[in-house]
Amino acid sequence: MPSNRQETWARGFFLFALLASLVGFLGYYDAQGFVTTPPVIVLALQLVAASAGVMLLRHRLLANIRGVLPLILVAVWAAITLVWADDPSTALRRWLLVFAPAILICLLAASDPRPRQTFVWFTGLVAVITIASGAFFAVIMAFWETTIAENALRYFLIDVNGWVFGIAEGGRQYELGLYIPRFSGLTSNPNSLGLFAAIGFIALAAIARPKRDARGVGLILVIGIVIFLLLMSGSRAAFAMTAAGIFFVVLLRTNRRRTARFAVLLVCAMTLSLYLVTWLTGATQDLSHVEVFELRDRAQGWQIAIRAIGDVWMAGLGFGLTQEAIYAPLGLQTAAHSLSLSMLVETGVVGFVLVLATWFSPVFRATQQGRTVTATDIAIVALLMGLFVHQTVDSSVFRYHWAHFVFVYLLGASAGLSGSRTNA
């Protein structure tokens, strides 16, 4: 098989793996809860497609392997922590779910013969998912027949010949009596829809160049719909991510590389300050009915995690075991809702430093003086920084979650763009 044909097939497998990694986590609500593709099927599709792509591109794998090594080091250290984990079998299962497909996808992204075209395709996919979620929400709200209250959510459902499907609504009360009804669309919750919209908007802001023609008008319309759905999601984490991402887009478009590097340190300092203030002030139990800057249950969860870090700060207590190790003994069914705190609890300072190196090395590599920075580079840097801000109050990365696979794709794509490309 000729080399160019191999690359075409490999790229097809790669795109399919990305498609499965995002679309496989979508679904709808019925009377019992969220219905989506069984994870074992998504995992099988990821592994088969990514493995086939890696085999076909094996002659290119070493070209940009340096960009993938930080992720591999995180995986190796996370595997080492399983040795002293209280539940090594559960930890191993989660390690395999998180790292087996992630490393393959990252390798494929780093070896991609057409990284810029792939990123445009990825941006289009995210925009389509966001807009399709909005359309699904509009249809359900126009024709819903039944509502069911479930904890803090309310389901809006349609029954078509016995098939019940719909969306979840989790509204949020803001200051001045403003109430925003937040809908899930095709995702599991409004925050997830907000994350899709934030990723789509940041990527489009970095690479889109609307022209004064019909296509330009269409592109502006797409961006406007994505922004509208972002606002309708009411996700404060997505808002913060968008602000950070657009800030880095502006910095790099105006060639302020030193400022961008300083901003990375500023983001880290602000993240640390947020955790420190939460630790010092404590979790407020008597909260008002409105939400703007309140952390609510997150504050209590963070305090528990910070106390646990004091006991396992060097090496952690085992990858993937935050809930079982520190929350379950207290009778809590929750997560740390913080990537940084989760990784400190599970992998200690060693693992956390490796995570930071993995996350920020593409940013510092892209902002080196004298290096040409393309629109795709800008988009990847902005998305990585925005996602880091988002994960300050969430813990989807380094979990079996679609956001994790977006993250590893961005790592690999950055490595591929930094190397020599035969067709970019």
Looking at residue 337, the DSSP 8-state letter turns out to be: S
DSSP string of 269-305?
Answer: HHHHHHHHHHHHH---SS--S--SS--THHHHHHHHH
- Residue 27: name the closest of 153, 165, 141, 128 by CA: 165
**pTM for the whole structure:** 0.93
The tokens for 153 are 């959510």
Torsion of CA 99, 102, 103, 104, to 10 degrees: 130
**Amino acid letter for position 42:** V
Distant-in-sequence, close-in-space partners of 213: CB < 8 Å, separation ≥ 6: none
Q: What is the pLDDT of residue 331?
A: 87
DSSP string of 290-346?
Answer: --SS--THHHHHHHHHHHHHHHHTTT-S-TT-HIIIIIGGGT-----S-HHHHHHHH
Q: What is the pLDDT of residue 296?
A: 63
Do 79 and 319 form a contact (C-beta atoms < 8 A)? yes
- Residue 242: name the closest of 258, 255, 261, 223 by CA: 223
- Block means of pLDDT (10 residues each) for the chain, 424 residues, are 78 97 96 93 97 91 85 98 95 97 96 94 98 96 86 86 90 61 90 97 93 86 96 92 97 94 95 88 51 64 90 93 91 88 96 97 89 93 98 95 98 83 40
Q: How far is CA 316 from CA 102, 310, 319, 343, in A?
A: 22, 10, 8, 8
Distance of alpha carbon 206 from alpha carbon 289, whole angstroms: 37
Tell the burial category of 364 from Cβ atoms under 10 Å away from its Cβ (0-12, 13-18, 19+): middle
Domain ranges of the chain: 3-418
Do 232 and 183 form a contact (C-beta atoms < 8 A)? yes
For residue range 153-171, list pLDDT tens digits in order. 789 999 999 899 999 988 6
Residues 57, 60, 64, 69: is their CA dihedral positive or negative? Answer: positive
Q: How many residues does the chain have?
A: 424
Q: What is the pLDDT of residue 78?
A: 98
